[in-house]
Amino acid sequence: MQYKRLTEYGAIGDGNTVALVGRDGSIDWCPLPHVESPSVFAAILDADRGGRFSVQPTRSFESIQRYRDRTNVLETTFRTADGSATVTDFMPVAEATGSADRPPAIYRRLECDDGPLEFTVSFEPRFDYARDVPAVEPTSDGVVAIGDDERAVLTSDVPLEPTAEGHGGSATATLEAGERRWLVLGYGEAIPLEPSRHREVLDDVVDYWRGWSHDCDGADCPIGGPWHELAVRSSLVLKLLIHRGTGAVCAAPTTSLPEDLGGVRNWDYRFNWIRDAAFTVQALAELGHLAEARSYFQLCLDHCRGHDPADIPPVYGLHGGDDLEERTLDHLEGYRGSAPVRVGNAARQQRQLDVYGELILAIYESVRYGEAVTTDDWAVMRGLIDAVCEDWDRPDASIWEPRNDPQQYVYSKVMCWAALDRGIKLADAADDVSAPLERWRTCREDVREAILERGYSERTDSFVRSFGDETLDAANLLVPVVGLLPPDDARVQCTIDATIDRLATSDGLVRRYEGDDGLPGETSPFIVCSFWLVTALALAGRTDEARDRFESILEYASPLGVFAEGIDPETGEQRGNVPQAYSHIGLINSVLYLADAGDSNRERRAPLGFDQWTADERSSAEIVRQPTDTERRNTQ
């Protein structure tokens, strides 16, 4: 069987897991019961052995996908010579249905718009990343797949039968115009076949997503302008990646989709990276999703409580676990032959000093949006900032997690400066907290001096990847975003120009860095880096350039407005895990800065978390408070 382009997939989810549904009606990826669990369908990683669940016309067809407006309910419409039909795919969300105790489920409604039209259903579950091929047996209204330790039950008003070899289920049915059929997959136990109830669940899920998604009357909207709907779609993608139980943001719901087709840069992204925190908080808070923003920053603090401040892991399991051991699944061939397929992520063991800045920035942003930190939180923050004072000049792996020796990465130093700067600002604003401010201020100046003297190359006329180096790093585009230097500083402008000259393609795409990273092959241009360039240009007042590059990037979006991690510069195909949280965070924040730059009546957006409270705001803001009894119990 052939592999589909990544732009041919839509994503559905329930806050616990995410499934990828192809434009051909095939669910080719779904881990259950959680996104970090082993897969039940993994045809995207092995087209022959991975397993799938497809619903499609028997005859040749064309198809398109769309989301129902302001929802994560996916519709795939098929057209054949005989007629047309639509498959509606969704997963029940506990907050919508009041059914938190129900098993995870995938609902698929098949509706014939113009018929008669013959459809084929193929149900091929493969548990435990296709290492457990289940026996499939008939039930009164469907089939059940029974593995070593798992069960999946498919109920339907389409007559399903086990396949001849007994490891799948199939059916063929002809629908007349106006007819509907339901297929409901329950993990662990059956979902009773009740079409009227299924329609109610669909209505509840649609109402939930529309009630959650950003909506405005256009006045003073932070993302007002031509890209409003695209930014709303990105927020809905982010919501799919937020674990409903813990608030953790999954970097992507897939594993091992390659950065370099046929290469080894294939990673498992089904975990929570702290570095996503600051930009996630800003994006969600600006769109009005304050509960998710607050929950996420508190989760990041909770992660830090159980660790020595000098040894904070950069990545966590979505449930807070630390079993991220990296392993390979040699029985799977990988997407389009890109092996190895990996689960787990060895970045857990790396030292990445930039996470300190990203965490403190997230806390600072949360306070700006109205969240007070507790005295217990402040104790954690103080420990983190003290650790920065001790360790900022040590080599590390930094943001891009190379597999070679640690270096003195400039971006890590920039984020260490940001941790010190925002910690000082919070302490100044709070007045009544204990902090070694003289030490922090001295260290902040030392870090800044080192960055400007050793991190900027007169020869290259740009900030560079590491001290004493001449290669470039796109992460340095964030220097003005975090406020180390103002956007109109000559060194910022020259870094933007050098990035365009040496890391950018002619159509707006930006590679992450130059130089060795300890791995063979090449990485594709990163979408988030491309959005960083847009943001830096918008901040620098180069608005026309920013808009042009932004529009160029959007041409690579899927028809659904979804982005993976990178873009193959030769073919224009998306690469890497999909959908990618960082890409969509970058899109939202670029729209925020572009909206400000394009509105002469709007106050220009300050760099991330850089604006200080006015005297009135400071007197009225609660920066640090005592924890409640519940909070004390939860942190013990």
State the residue for tokens 């959680």. Answer: 34
Burial of 295 (0-12, 13-18, 19+ CB in 10 A): buried
Type of residue found at 615: A
Question: pLDDT > 90: what percent of the chain?
Answer: 71
**450 part of a folded domain:** yes
Left, alpha or beta for 518 (phi > 0: left; psi -120 to 50: alpha)?
left
Whether residues 207 and 275 share a domain: the answer is: no
Last-in-domain residue among 211, 242, 257? 211
- From the CB of residue 631, how many other CB atoms can be counted at a distance below 10 Å? 15
CA–CA separation, 120 vs 26, rounded Å?
11
Task: Quickly list H helices, 106-227.
Answer: 127-130, 195-212
Last-in-domain residue among 163, 179, 211? 211
**505 part of a folded domain:** yes
CATH code where residue 415 lies: 1.50.10.10
Whether residues 185 and 44 share a domain: the answer is: yes
Token pair in block for residue 269? 């992204």
Contacts of 276 (CB under 8 A, 6+ apart): 249, 251, 358, 581, 582, 585
CA–CA separation, 608 vs 93, rounded Å?
33
- From the CB of residue 311, how many other CB atoms can be counted at a distance below 10 Å? 9
**635 part of a folded domain:** no
Quick one: pLDDT at residue 100? 66
**312 part of a folded domain:** yes
The enclosing H or E element of 568 equals none
For the chain, the straight-line distance linking the first and the last C-alpha, in angstroms and rounded, comes to 53
**631 part of a folded domain:** no
In DSSP terms, which residues pair with 30 in a beta bridge? 41
Whether residues 402 and 481 share a domain: the answer is: yes
CATH code where residue 207 lies: 2.70.98.50
Whether residues 332 and 456 share a domain: the answer is: yes
**621 part of a folded domain:** no
**619 part of a folded domain:** no
Whether residues 30 and 125 share a domain: the answer is: yes
Whether residues 240 and 205 share a domain: the answer is: no
Type of residue found at 31: P
The enclosing H or E element of 108 equals strand 105-114
Whether residues 55 and 164 share a domain: the answer is: yes
Quick one: pLDDT at residue 615? 46
Whether residues 246 and 162 share a domain: the answer is: no
Token pair in block for residue 409? 């990465």
Q: What's the number of domains the chain is made of?
A: 2
Helix (H, G, I), strand (E, B) or coil at 162: strand
Quick one: pLDDT at residue 633? 52
Domain that holds residue 189: 6-211
CA–CA separation, 104 vs 476, rounded Å?
42
DSSP states of 80-101 as a string? -SS-EEEEEEE---HHHHT-TT
DSSP states of 5-39 as a string? PGGGEEEEE-SS-EEEEETTSEEEEEESSSTTSPE
**Positions of the chain with pLDDT lower than 70, given as ranges:** 99-101, 218-219, 598-622, 624-636
Q: For residue range 270-310, what is the model confidence (pLDDT) as tens digits?
A: 999 988 777 787 788 888 888 888 888 788 888 888 788 88
State the residue for tokens 């005295």. Answer: 375
Whether residues 529 and 480 share a domain: the answer is: yes
Type of residue found at 569: P
Whether residues 142 and 284 share a domain: the answer is: no
CA–CA separation, 587 vs 568, rounded Å?
19
CA–CA separation, 203 vs 193, rounded Å?
17
Widest pairwise Cα distance in the chain: 78
Q: For residue range 426-483, what is the model confidence (pLDDT) as tens digits?
A: 898 887 788 999 999 999 999 999 999 999 999 999 999 999 999 999 999 999 999 9
Contact 16, 243 (CB under 8 A): yes
Whether residues 175 and 323 share a domain: the answer is: no
Whether residues 466 and 551 share a domain: the answer is: yes
State the residue for tokens 């399991």. Answer: 317
Helix (H, G, I), strand (E, B) or coil at 304: helix
Last-in-domain residue among 211, 238, 259? 211
**94 part of a folded domain:** yes
Least Cα distance to 586 among 452, 462, 475, 446 occurs for 475
